[in-house]
Amino acid sequence: MVLLAFLPYASVRCFAQPDENQVTIVQISDTHIADKHAPHAAENLKHAVEMINSRRPDAVVLSGDIGENPQAWEEARSILKKLKPPLYYVPGNHDVHSSDVDRYRDVFGKDYYTFNVKSVTFVVIDSLLLGNYDVYGAKTPMPLPPQTEDESERMLTWLSGLRDREISGRVVIGVQHIPVFHDGRFPDPKPYWVIDDPYRSKELKALHELGVKHMLVGHWHNGRVFQKEGITWHIAPSTAWLPWGGELGFAVHTISASGDVHTEFVELPGARP
């Protein structure tokens, strides 16, 4: 009892908050500003920004399909600049097509990069350099144009090289727009919905070498979590429209110091697609 009375305040506070190294990251996805399917997209995103600010996460990531054209990107950015935590962008297949990645880079900067939040390194991957998603109805995967194939090789070399650089000893979590697998319940088998070979095998090899156990992805507009190939895939819902039913909203990921990820899906109350 006597000893306890002499403990400095800082030690007591430290003991009372064992989760100081826990990271909370909000994932918004498929905001689709100016998409004809989503007339309320801007209004829903404003609502999401207010809700996210009140939760005070460490960071926010937007996992692609930001808007349909550069003017829509500007509208998204003007809404998103009201976010208090730092925001990280990821390209989606409505932002980048098979041969126009430069247009995205001119506005958003790098399309693949890393960022750190406390002891977690997030690896943002441009999944549009891992397949051609220009034709929704394609029955077999389409090739990338040669110039984009070169970009793809460069990104995969960068991804493999990360293990020799700054990430050793850190928790590494990947973020990209397009999931690598179907989950067995997804209703549409088209190649459009996933990363297809040969890119799938190349990416998986690199992710395993980096020790990635969790991937934050979008594209399906439907909140889901499933495991495949030793990785847990966390699919965020859309804030904009619902091709497969479900709820509009965003995902809140709580990451422990040891790298476990707990995902909560938060609905946007009263939001319309």
Taking the least distance from each CB to Zn ion, the nearer of 65 and 126 is: 65
Tokens at 230, concatenated? 């030793």
Chain residues binding Zn ion by CB under 5 A are 30, 65
Question: Residues 16-55, buried b or exposed e (16+ Cβ, 10 A)?
Answer: eeeeeebbbbbbbbbbbbbbeebebbbebbebbbebbeee
Shortest spacing between CB 76 and Zn ion, in angstroms: 13
Shortest spacing between CB 238 and Zn ion, in angstroms: 6
Rg from Cα positions in the chain: 19
Reference 130, options 96, 88, 102; nearest CA is 96
Shortest spacing between CB 57 and Zn ion, in angstroms: 22
Shortest spacing between CB 241 and Zn ion, in angstroms: 8
Taking the least distance from each CB to Zn ion, the nearer of 33 and 255 is: 33
Taking the least distance from each CB to Zn ion, the nearer of 29 and 121 is: 29
Taking the least distance from each CB to Zn ion, the nearer of 103 and 202 is: 103
Contact predicate 191/213, CB 8 Å:
no
Taking the least distance from each CB to Zn ion, the nearer of 31 and 148 is: 31
Handedness of CA 94, 98, 99, 102 (dihedral sign): positive
Shortest spacing between CB 258 and Zn ion, in angstroms: 32
Element (H, E) at 15: helix 9-16
Element (H, E) at 115: strand 113-117
